[in-house]
A = this chain, B = another copy of it.
Amino acid sequence: MKATIIGLGLIGGSMALDIQRLYENVLIIGIDSNEDHLNEAISLGLIHRKGNLKDDLDGDFVILAVPVDVALLLLPKILDNIAENTIVIDVGSTKKPICEVVENHPKRSNFLATHPIAGTEFSGPNAAIENLFEDKVNILCEIERTSYKKQEKALELFRKLNMRIRYMEPKSHDKHIAYVSHLSHISSFMLGKTVIEKEKDEKDIFDMAGSGFESTVRLAKSSPAMWTPIFRQNKKQIVKSLEEYIANLSTFKSFLESDDYEAIFNEMKNTNRIKEILK
């Protein structure tokens, strides 16, 4: 069993660890534009050796786990050189642009577009952990465009990882994920910014951070290099979700300004429904 992992960050690195754990006689080859990350991946035991995009596209899996802008550039080239029985799986947070970029590629059926809903706020090879994907949802797009045998191979991997599979259209994925993931990140980043700007004495933030701030601001630790291209690719949906979010915050503020505490109570009461939804 041979797998090539392109991009040895949190997702790629964790995938490498799990594949080693779940299959027998595994050879993991790593590719990354960052030479330090490659060496780190070797010393952490994530990969067995370094590879390149010419010679190492002939294993069982190629996992493409790079920032979504880089993925758009790499995927067509990977498909140009991929071996007949190899499947390439991307794991990016936007699905429409990547499906479009290979829409008419002659090797389209060697590709499967996925989005494992798993992660932490950390990045780089050091962030890789075992069992990251256990019991997490994996959203697969345009599965019908992947050849049947390769679908089977990918589904076997996800079954071994113990993931829950959902099927969605790329456009629908990008719309929903704008609200549930991308907007959460912006909300968190801007909350962090607002508080940092205010609190010149950082000790005060630290001391008071227990009061909910820490979990709300967790995502503001995320990697700008990973998130900037996601925001770019899903700009239209994100702008829309941001407009609705800002409108809701402004309404809340106007209720406060006009001392309408019944309305404020009701806003919170109605949103408490999130308890049952997330259970």
A residues lining the B interface (CB < 8 Å): 93, 117-119, 121, 136-137, 139, 164, 166, 176-177, 179-181, 183-199, 202, 204-222, 224-225, 227-229, 231-232, 235, 238-239, 241-246, 248-250, 252-253, 256-257, 259, 261, 264-275, 277-278
Give the contacting residue for A191; candidates B139, B184, B211, B218; CB below 8 A.
B184
Looking at the assembled complex, report how far the CB atom of A48 sits from the nearest CB atom of chain B, in whole angstroms. Answer: 30
Q: Specify the main secondary structure of chain A where it touches its partner.
A: helix
Contact A270 B204 (CB under 8 A): no
How far does the Cβ of A186 sit from chain B's closest Cβ, in whole Å? 6
Which of chain B's residues have a CB closer than 8 A to the CB of A245?
Answer: 190-191, 194, 249
Asked if B198 contacts A270 (CB within 8 A), the reply is no
Report yes or no: A207 in contact with B257, Cβ–Cβ below 8 A: no
19 extra interchain contacts, Cβ-Cβ under 8 A, other than A180-B205, A224-B266?
A: A93-B211, A181-B211, A183-B191, A183-B195, A184-B217, A188-B212, A189-B268, A189-B271, A190-B248, A190-B271, A205-B278, A209-B278, A212-B219, A217-B274, A224-B265, A224-B272, A225-B265, A229-B261, A242-B249
A198–B179 touching, CB < 8 Å: yes
Q: Which of B214, B224, B235, B246 contacts A269 (CB 8 A)?
A: B224
Contact with A198, one of B93, B191, B212, B244 (Cβ below 8 angstroms): B244
Q: Decide: A274 near B210, CB < 8 A? Known: A243-B253, A268-B227.
A: no
When chains A and B are docked, how far (Å) is the Cα of A225 from the Cα of B264?
A: 10
Q: Chain B contacts of A243 at CB under 8 A? A: 253
Q: How far is the CA of A235 from the CA of B264 in the complex (A)?
A: 12
Q: Is the CB of A176 within 8 A of B189?
A: no
Known interface pairs A136-B210, A205-B278, A249-B246. Does A224 touch B194 (Cβ–Cβ under 8 Å)? no
Complexed CA–CA distance, A185 and B212 (Å) = 7
How many whole Å from A178's CB to the nearest CB in chain B? Answer: 9
Contact A211 B119 (CB under 8 A): yes
